[in-house]
Chains A and B, each alone.
Chain A
Amino acid sequence: MADVSIHGLAKSFGPVDILRDINLTVEDGEFVVFVGPSGCGKSTLLRIIAGLESVSAGEIRIGGRRVNELPPADRKIAMVFQSYALYPHMSVYKNMAFGLKFAKTDKAEADRRVRQAAEILKLSALLDRKPRELSGGQRQRVAIGRAIVRKPSVFLFDEPLSNLDAALRVNTRIEIAKLHQELGATMIYVTHDQVEAMTLASKIVVLNHGRIEQVGAPLDLYRRPCNVFVAGFIGSPRMNFIKGEVRGISNQSVTIGFAGAEMKVDLSGKDLAVGDMVTVGIRPEHMAEQGADAIALEGRVDAVERLGEASYVYMKLASQDDVVVRAPGEAHIAAGDLFKAYFSPRSTHVFDAEGRSLRMDVKP
């Protein structure tokens, strides 16, 4: 078992900076998810931890040991690839046992480990099959099995579910969560899917443009995003953002005008001046068709998406801002209707002109 710590890490390909100033600690036994849009450097960061890419600057320690110069095999890691990367000419059994041959594990022990992993992953009946005779989900399990038998200190997953269909994805997601509980190993998982991140992670690392935007527990990021990017990335549908303006500042609160409405929020106004531009963020699920002591935004409905348990109402405000509201599944709303969405100022987020959150309880 091991913790992973990364200090001042940077990576560039020629003149292009892929990662900049990455500082991160992954505790022993933690399930950390790197999440971000494509091209944000999350896969590169994972491959650097694995030892498949070199670093341009900085240091990586696994279990307290500096591993910068160590090849992947000596880092006590195992990686599961997006494409599974099974050896096509070897049976499932050989695929799993292949790495053990080179780790000088004795034959009986290797056999025991492979059979045990196959047991856990329900692959026992498939050990003699070739990868091409397996379904996508089975291949994925073989890839995970290949990682398990090596008994690594750190598991690395590179978008392992993105090649699976929706139903299988949910299943495998739960399997991976169970596996983490059973093995108790440190796991680092890369995905662009924020739902996977929210459901699996004990800690989420949000990356954008090669930088860490915020690190925190899933609900922390959901409740207290430190900037516009994280606020927009975590949560589905995306948080609504509306441009606003500071109208007044008092001791403990700030009055903000936006989209024809005005609200008083508890913010520290010390870095603000009247007339400053801000961005107000409201999650679709925090708006409702009615509400007491609430602010209302009125707009015309463009479209309604009915999911059964909820309906997403897409509306356009008079200020031309687009707003999505999560309404009850049976709500009688149709495109073209006038719609009023209510929300409480306490559930809003306010960001300054640079996109940083102004809420007092947010730590970056």
Chain B
Amino acid sequence: MNRYIRPGRLAVHIALILYTIIAIGPILLIVLNAFKTRRAIFADPLGFPDARTFTTIGFDQVFAKSDFGLYFINSLTITVVSLGLIVLIGAMAAWALTEYRFRGNTLISLYLAIGIMVPIRLGSVSILRMMVELNLVNTLTALILVYVAQGLPLAVLILSEFIQQIPKDLRDAARCDGVSEYRIFGSIILPLIRPAIATVAVFTMVPIWNDLWFPLILSPGDGKQTVTLGVQQFIGQYVTDWNAVLASLTLAIAPILVLYLLFSRYLVRGLTAGAVK
């Protein structure tokens, strides 16, 4: 069969392949070098580990010298709890703002829109002051609160957009069926915006997991460090333990990858097909 590939398509694919290489390259480099000896990392950074250069010393270092398991659980707790709160509160707020007309509706929407435009880091000093006053420094709660605030505006925006696309008749049908407003939200709206929730989850999860700034200023000690902060202890002013840094980074990629794969299953549209003609 003579398959003709249009030049436009070809160009798109070339661009996408290039982008993939650029995006995956550094990650691949980290994973590769995490399994190499220090000498091999510097001698041949792009080479695959072979029998001579293969080592897991970095991982041993990470587990021996630091409380990596704890950091890991801290990061995971913060990410999962923040994500859960953002999705739940965001979806509820989006539902309320799109479904009900009430006084202050526009004002709240505007307020949330401003949250997208103004970076939360501008408020670092006052946030720190507030946390000190609330006695929340060096707690995971402090970080969770900040991340929920950081993630909510975008979540509400995206979810409102999706909720608006759900046919109004569905809600009316449920109301005729005697379903309470909470159950309409839980049994009809939430299942139908699953793709949107996955999108929001992916968008908010990565920055939270990767964040260094807020862990550094809000909970730098007391065994409340996150993975990103924990890695820093291997980066010294004079000596950097590259084996350990790369090993801990490799370990840090794993959970976010799993979460991503979990959510990307739902990053498929067309879930409402068949609801209405």
A residues near B, CB below 8 A?
47, 50-52, 71-74, 77-79, 81-89, 98-99, 102-103, 130-134, 136, 139, 146, 150, 163
Contact check, B179 vs A132: say whether CB atoms are below 8 A apart. no
Residues of B near any A CB (own CB < 8 A):
167, 169-170, 172-180, 183, 187-188, 191-192, 271-277
List the 7 shortest-distance A-B pairs measured between CB atoms, nearest first: A132-B274, A73-B178, A99-B177, A83-B276, A85-B169, A88-B275, A85-B173
6 A–B contacts from the bound complex (CB under 8 Å): A47-B172, A73-B178, A83-B167, A83-B277, A87-B275, A150-B177
Q: Which of A86, A103, A146 has the most CB of B within 10 A?
A: A86
B195 nearest CB across to chain A (Å): 12
Bound Cα distance from A133 to B180, whole angstroms? 28
CA distance A131 to B167 in the complex (A): 15
Known: A73-B177, A102-B179, A102-B183. A89 touches B277 (CB 8 A): no
**Bound CA–CA A88/B272 (angstroms):** 6
Residue of B177, B178, B187, B273 near A88 (CB, 8 A) is B273
Q: How far is the CB of B188 from the nearest CB of chain A, in Å?
A: 6
Measured between beta carbons, the chain A residues less than 8 angstroms from B187 are 98
Question: Is the pair B170, A87 in contact by a Cβ cutoff of 8 Å?
Answer: yes
Q: A83-B277, A88-B271, A163-B277 are in contact. Are A72 and B176 (CB under 8 A)?
A: yes
A86 to B274 CA separation, bound complex (whole angstroms) = 8
Given A88-B192, A88-B274, verify A83-B177 contact (CB < 8 Å).
no
Which A residues are in CB contact (< 8 Å) with B277?
83-84, 136, 139, 163
Additional pairs, 4, CB under 8 Å, beyond known A72-B178, A99-B178: A50-B176, A73-B176, A84-B275, A130-B274
- When distances are taken between beta carbons in the complex, the residues of chain B under 8 Å from A50 are 172, 176
Inter-chain contact A103/B272, CB cutoff 8 Å:
no
Contact between chains at B175 and A72 (CB < 8 Å): yes
- Find out whether the CB atom of B276 lies under 8 angstroms from the CB atom of A73: no
Inter-subunit contact A89/B271 (CB<8 Å): yes
A63–B180 Cα distance when bound, in Å, is 24
In angstroms, Cα B275 to Cα A84, docked, is 7
Chain A residue at minimum C-beta to C-beta distance from B170: A85
- Tell me which residues across on chain B come within 8 A of A89, comparing CB atoms: 191-192, 271
What distance in Å separates the Cβ of A237 from its nearest Cβ neighbour in chain B?
Answer: 29
When distances are taken between beta carbons in the complex, the residues of chain A under 8 Å from B188 are 87
Residue from A47, A72, A78, A134 with most neighbouring chain B CB atoms (10 Å) = A72
Known A88-B274, A134-B274: A81·B173 in contact at CB below 8 Å: yes
Q: Which of A52, A82, A83, A139 contacts B175 (CB 8 A)?
A: A52
A114 to B183, CA, bound (A): 21
Measured CA separation A89–B174 after assembly (Å)? 13
Distance (whole angstroms) from the CB of A187 to the closest CB of chain B: 15
Q: List residues of chain B with CB within 8 A of the CB of A130.
A: 274
- Verify A102–B177 contact, CB threshold 8 A: yes
How distant is the Cα of A136 from the Cα of B274 in the complex, in angstroms?
Answer: 9
Chain B neighbourhood of A134, CB < 8 A: 274
Given contacts A132-B273, A134-B274, contact A78 B176 (CB under 8 A): yes
Contact for A99 among B179, B180, B191, B272, CB less than 8 A: B179
CB neighbours (8 Å) of A78 from chain B are 176
With beta carbons under 8 angstroms apart, the residue of B176, B272, B273, B276 that contacts A84 is: B276
Looking across the interface, which residue of chain A has its beta carbon closest to that of B169? A85
Min CB gap A155→B, angstroms: 11
Alpha-carbon distance between A139 and B276 when the two chains are bound, in angstroms? 9
- CB proximity of B185 to chain A, nearest CB, Å: 13
Task: Return chain B residues, CB-CB under 8 Å to A74.
Answer: 178
Q: Which residues of B contact A131 (CB under 8 A)?
A: 274-275
Decide: A77 near B176, CB < 8 A? Known: A83-B169, A85-B170, A89-B191.
yes
A85 and B276 contact, CB distance less than 8 A: yes
Are A85 and B177 interface neighbours, CB within 8 A?
A: no
- The minimal Cβ–Cβ distance linking B163 to chain A, given in whole angstroms, is 14
Given the complex, which residues of A lie within 8 Å of B183, measured CB to CB?
102
- Residue of B with least CB distance to A133: B274
Residues of A within 8 A of B273 (CB): 88, 132
Enumerate chain B residues within 8 angstroms of A163, measured Cβ to Cβ.
277
**Chain B residue nearest to A87 in the complex (CB):** B188
Which residue of chain A has the shortest Cβ distance to B181 in the bound complex? Answer: A71
Give A130 to B173 CA distance when docked, in angstroms.
17
Compute how far the CA of A150 lies from the CA of B176 in the bound complex, rounded to whole angstroms.
10
A98–B188 Cα gap in the complex (Å)? 11
Q: Among the listed A81, A132, A133, A150, which residue makes an inter-chain contact with B169, where contact means beta carbons less than 8 Å apart? A: A81
For residue A88, which residues in chain B have a CB less than 8 angstroms away from its CB? Answer: 192, 271-275
Minimal Cβ-Cβ distance residue in B for A74: B178
**Bound state CA distance, A98 and B180, in angstroms?**
12
Residues of the A chain whose Cβ atoms lie less than 8 Å from the Cβ of B271? 88-89
A103 touches B178 (CB 8 A): yes
User: How distant is the Cα of A51 from the Cα of B179 in the complex, in angstroms?
Assistant: 14
B108 to chain A, nearest CB (A): 22
CA distance A75 to B272 in the complex (A): 29
Q: Chain A nearest CB: distance from B194 CB in Å?
A: 9
Chain B: which residue is nearest A75 at the CB level? B176
Q: Would A79 and B274 count as touching, CB distance under 8 A?
A: no
